[in-house]
């Protein structure tokens, strides 16, 4: 079967917490099958829903196997974040339907798999309400106890443009350094530690800060400076000892191409929810492979975007590690069938058809 047509589209909204919600897309096909995708974190859930509703009339009767045609027609680089999130959620659901129609996992349609399981890092940021020196450390220790072998934190909450103008390590920066040191003490030397700076620094200060962290052997520094000046990104990358990861705010092949040519980074972070779904993520990964840059998808997401990222990354030779939103809600596992299963910091690549998950009725 290679001519499965869309009959209708619906969305399902799940309230999560103060940090955001999950928005799922359901494509109904003419034969009664349902494909699922995730369109969360579009900055305005109602606007994302409105875009999906607006697109529905153009998609009724559309063949879910025509994924390149869908991207060519609907993925518009000059559109805003909410629109691209809507398109990306629909595209994921098309892959799910296509896989179900052929009774194969999505990775099989992306060129087959390179690996049987995907390494995860626990992003403890959203689950950490105690932002004091030891709040991150406690959650990091718990995530390691659950089997994760890599931890990411965002310890520089108090750092902003207003307090980095003096060219020296301010109290807010030193507090962030203290949080990172507390995490390293809690988890020991053998667990990978990733630090997200949320583009809060300028080059001179992040270089000073990175040198103060040299002895901690960080896995990477993420988003050290804004991406508006790629020469500054390249300068930081050449001036510090640890790898640089960035790119979560980029959406298009054009933008990632510029970053890869001029930024001199080690890892890029495209998000399946915003770059056009699995096909967009795969194209960006192939582009990065030509420059020996690793792919580590941005994924502070719900279980469907995680499943989509896992299927895509199974097929990507230059994949490194995938983000997992650790501890955000304790009922996450009740949303999908089969439940997510994480063992020793890895998630198995599902061999079930499509994305490998179905949404339970809420």
Encoding tokens for residue 328? 């955000």
**pLDDT tens-digit readout, 304-356:** 999 999 999 999 999 999 999 999 999 998 899 999 999 999 999 999 999 99
Cβ atoms of residues 16 and 328 within 8 Å = yes
pLDDT-flagged residues of the chain (< 70): 1, 161-166, 362
Cβ atoms of residues 313 and 319 within 8 Å = yes
**pLDDT tens-digit readout, 49-59:** 999 999 999 99
Q: Which pLDDT does position 30 carry in this prediction?
A: 95
pTM here is 0.96
What is the end-to-end Cα distance of the chain in Å, rounded? 31
Q: Which pLDDT does position 195 carry in this prediction?
A: 98
Encoding tokens for residue 159? 């750092």
Q: Which pLDDT does position 67 carry in this prediction?
A: 98
Encoding tokens for residue 338? 């089969």
Encoding tokens for residue 23? 């928005």
Q: Which pLDDT does position 327 carry in this prediction?
A: 94
List, as one string, the DSSP characters of 4-46.
Answer: -BEEEEEEEEEEEETTEEEEEEEEEETTS-EEEEE----S-HH
Euclidean distance between CA atoms 17 and 37, whole angstroms:
20
Q: Which pLDDT does position 362 carry in this prediction?
A: 60
List the Cα angle 335/341/345 in 5-degree steps.
130
Euclidean distance between CA atoms 10 and 172, whole angstroms:
45
Could you give the dihedral angle defined by the CA atoms of residues 298, 302, 303 and 307, in that order, rounded to the nearest 10 degrees? -30
Q: Which pLDDT does position 163 carry in this prediction?
A: 65
Backbone angles phi, psi at 155, to 5 degrees: -90, 0
| Residue 338 preceded by cis peptide, ω within 30 | yes
Q: Facing residues of 24 across strands?
A: 12, 38
Total residues found in the chain within this entry: 362
**pLDDT tens-digit readout, 93-128:** 999 999 999 999 999 999 999 999 999 999 999 999
| SS3 category, 237 | helix
Please state, for a pLDDT cut of 90, what percent of the chain lies above it: 91
> What region does 147 belong to: left with phi over 0, alpha with psi -120 to 50, or beta?
left
Q: How far is CA 248 from CA 47, 198, 227, in A?
A: 21, 10, 10
Q: Which residues contact 345 (CB under 8 A, 6 or more apart)?
A: 119, 120, 121, 122, 147, 148, 149, 150
Q: Which pLDDT does position 93 carry in this prediction?
A: 98
Q: Which pLDDT does position 360 carry in this prediction?
A: 87
| SS3 category, 122 | strand
Name the percent of the chain in helix, strand, coil, to the closest 5: 40, 20, 40
């Amino acid at each position: 079967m290679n001519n499965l047509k869309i009959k209708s589209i619906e969305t399902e909204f799940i309230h999560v917490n103060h940090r955001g919600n999950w928005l799922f897309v359901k494509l109904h096909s003419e034969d009664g099958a349902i494909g699922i995708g995730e369109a969360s974190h579009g900055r305005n859930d109602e606007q994302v829903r409105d875009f999906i509703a607006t697109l529905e009339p153009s998609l009724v009767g559309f063949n879910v196997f025509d994924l390149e045609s869908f991207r060519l027609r609907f993925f518009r680089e000059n559109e805003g974040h909410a629109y691209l999130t809507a398109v990306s959620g629909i595209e994921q659901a098309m892959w799910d339907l296509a896989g179900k129609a052929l009774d194969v996992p999505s990775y099989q349609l992306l060129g087959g798999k390179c690996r049987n399981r995907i390494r995860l890092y626990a992003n403890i940021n959203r689950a950490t309400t105690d932002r004091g020196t030891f709040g991150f450390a406690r959650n990091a220790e718990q995530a390691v106890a659950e089997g994760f072998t890599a931890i990411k934190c965002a310890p520089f909450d108090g750092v902003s443009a207003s307090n980095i103008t003096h060219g020296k390590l301010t109290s807010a920066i030193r507090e962030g350094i203290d949080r990172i040191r507390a995490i390293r003490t809690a988890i020991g030397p053998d667990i990978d530690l990733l630090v997200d700076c949320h583009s809060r620094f300028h080059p001179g200060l992040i270089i000073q800060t990175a040198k103060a962290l040299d002895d901690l052997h960080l896995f990477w520094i993420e988003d050290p400076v804004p991406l508006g000046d790629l020469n500054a990104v390249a300068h930081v990358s050449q001036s510090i000892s640890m790898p640089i990861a960035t790119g979560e705010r980029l959406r298009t092949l054009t933008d990632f191409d510029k970053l890869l040519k001029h930024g001199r980074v080690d890892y890029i972070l495209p998000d399946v929810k915003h770059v056009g779904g699995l096909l967009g993520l795969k194209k960006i990964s192939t582009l990065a492979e030509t420059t020996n840059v690793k792919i580590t998808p941005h994924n502070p997401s719900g279980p469907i975007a995680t499943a989509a990222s896992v299927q895509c990354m199974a097929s990507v030779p230059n994949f490194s590690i995938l983000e997992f939103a650790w501890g955000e809600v304790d009922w996450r596992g009740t949303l999908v069938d089969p439940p997510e299963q994480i063992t020793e910091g890895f998630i198995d690549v599902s061999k079930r058809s499509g994305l490998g998950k179905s949404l339970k009725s809420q």
